Amino acid sequence: MKLLASLTSPYARKIRILLAEKQLPFELVVDSPWEANTRVPEVNPLGKVPALVLDSGEVFFDSPVIAGYLETLDAHPSLLPPGGIERVRVRQTEALADGILDAAVGAYLEGRRPDAQQSSVSIARQFDKIRRSLDELEKRASGHTWLDGDAMQLGDITVGVALGYLDLRLPQLDWHTDRPALTALAERLFTRPSFVATIPPAG
Ligand SMILES: N[C@@H](CCC(=O)N[C@@H](CS)C(=O)NCC(=O)O)C(=O)O
C-alpha cells in the first residue's frame, strides 16, 4: 500500500506513527497538496493528505477512516478496542485531538495571511477551542498513564501528534503550563521511535 503524505501534515504523521507502531510495510509518497504539481486530487477528490492507496487501487481517507482500516489488518499491537463503548471512547479522544488540530491548522494559516487580511477574532476563537480541549484532556489524563485504559491507543497517539503540532506551529499558546498530566503524556510519547522518526522538517 502507498501513503500519500506531506512531511509537515500532522494528520499524515498520525497515520505514519500508526503504521510504524504496527510495523506495517508501506510506500511513503511525499506529496504536498499545496504545490501546483500535486497528484493528491487524483486519488482524493478533497485534495487532502493523508490518503492511503491499497494494492487493489482502493483509496481510503481521511485519517480516522485510515486508522480504522489499519485496525482491520490484525497487525500487533491493536490500537483500538475491538468494539463496544470502549472503542467509542477511544474514537472520542481521537476526535477531540483531531479537532485541536483543525483549530490549530486554521489559526496557523490565518496567522500567515498578510496582516491587513488577518482576523484576530478568528484566531482567538480557534485558540479558545484549543485551550478548552486541552483542559478537558488534562482532566482525563490526570492520574493515568494513558488516556483510555491500560495501554497506549489511537487516542493517545493522536493527542501526542496534536501536542507536537502545537509546539511546532503555535508555541505562543504555551500549552505545557499548568498541564502536568499532558506534559508527562507527551514526554512518554515523544521518545517513542515512531514519533522520533516522523518529526516534521523545519520550515
Ligand atoms: N480531517 C482530515 C484533515 C486532512 C487535512 O486537512 N490535511 C491537510 C494537510 S495538514 C491538507 O491536505 N490540506 C490541503 C487542502 O486543504 O487543500 C484528516 O484527518 O485526514
Residue in the structure block whose three cell numbers are 522518526: 197
Q: Identify which of 14, 30, 32, 49 to mutate to test ligand 1's pocket (most ligand atoms within 8 A of the CB).
A: 49
Instruction: Write the residue with the smallest CA distance to atom 6 of ligand 1.
Output: 48
Tell me how far CA of residue 170 lies from CA of 33, 130, 162, 164, in angstroms. Answer: 22, 11, 11, 10
* Residue identifier of the C-alpha nearest atom 2 of ligand 1: 62
Helix, strand, or coil (residue 53): strand
Is there a contact between 80 and 154 (Cβ–Cβ < 8 Å)? Answer: yes
Contact yes or no for 166/104 (Cβ under 8 A): yes
Would you call the peptide bond into 77 cis, given omega within 30 degrees of 0 as the criterion? yes
Taking CB atoms and a 6 Å cutoff, what residues make up the pocket around ligand 1? 9, 11, 33, 47-50, 62-63, 98, 105
Q: What share of the chain is helix, strand, coil (3-state, %, to 5)?
A: 55, 5, 40
pLDDT per residue over 13-72, tens digit each? 999 999 999 999 999 999 999 999 999 999 999 999 999 999 999 999 999 999 999 999
Give pLDDT tens digits for 129-178: 999 999 999 999 999 999 999 999 999 999 999 999 999 999 999 999 99
CATH of region 84-193: 1.20.1050.10
Record: fold of 2-71 = Glutaredoxin (3.40.30)
Each domain of the chain, given as residue ranges in start order, spans 2-71, 84-193
Ligand 1 pocket test, pick from 48, 65, 100, 110 with the greatest ligand atom count within 8 Å of Cβ, gives: 48
Closest CA to 182 of 121, 123, 129, 139: 139
Model pTM score: 0.97
